[in-house]
Amino acid sequence: MTSPDKSKELVTKVTLVNDRVQFEGHVDGQPSVAIDYAPPLGDEKGYTSLELLLLSLSSCLGTAVATFLRRMNREVAGLEIMARGERKSTHPTGFHTIHLDVRLTSSDASVAELEKTVASAEQSFCPVFAMVKNNVEIVTTVDVVK
């Protein structure tokens, strides 16, 4: 399992590790991550698949936002993104809406600048956004702490 150029191709593996639904996630060069489902199907001994999706989406946004703000010579003293996914009540029980709350700590960035970088990231640069587009509603709020 080698992934010579991550800009072109990414490779992961999941392996079932018990007689329920706990998996170990593997990526070459990284410690494994525990994946499990909530009871009664699983034992909650790891992240659920849908939590991994939220982490994927919010870290994708965070990476772009931090990068864009620094290119604008704005301070990024802290950046935190809380994601909350509301599930459908019928199968497949994915999210109908994902709420993303972006909290930036910066002495010189304005709320308007943060809003602009978030919009640009969501519309043009975040690959994970592009992959859930039109299937999930994403509602983003921003806040700047001085």
Nearest-angstrom CA–CA distance, 116 and 39? 41
DSSP 84-137: EEEEPSSSS--EEEEEEEEEEE-SS--HHHHHHHHHHIIIII-HHHHHHTTTSE
- Exactly one of 131, 137, 141, 143 binds its own copies (CB under 8 A); that residue is 131
State the DSSP code for 61: H
What kind and span of H or E run contains 139?
strand 137-145
- Exactly one of 115, 116, 128, 140 binds its own copies (CB under 8 A); that residue is 128
Q: Which of 133, 129, 79, 67 is nearest to 103 (CA)?
A: 79
- In the bound complex, what is the minimum distance in angstroms from residue 111's beta carbon to its own copies? 18
- Exactly one of 25, 43, 115, 116 binds its own copies (CB under 8 A); that residue is 25
- Exactly one of 109, 126, 142, 144 binds its own copies (CB under 8 A); that residue is 126
Instruction: Characterize the bridge pairing of strands 137-145 and 95-105.
Output: parallel
- In the bound complex, what is the minimum distance in angstroms from residue 70's beta carbon to its own copies? 9
- In the bound complex, what is the minimum distance in angstroms from residue 118's beta carbon to its own copies? 14
Q: How many residues bind its own copies (CB under 8 A)?
A: 77
Chain positions 58 to 117 lying near its own copies, rule: CB under 8 A, are 58-60, 62-63, 66-67, 76, 78-88, 91-95
Per the listing, tokens 């992961």 go with: 12
Q: Is 12 in the site for its own copies (CB under 8 A)?
A: yes
- Exactly one of 52, 115, 116, 140 binds its own copies (CB under 8 A); that residue is 52
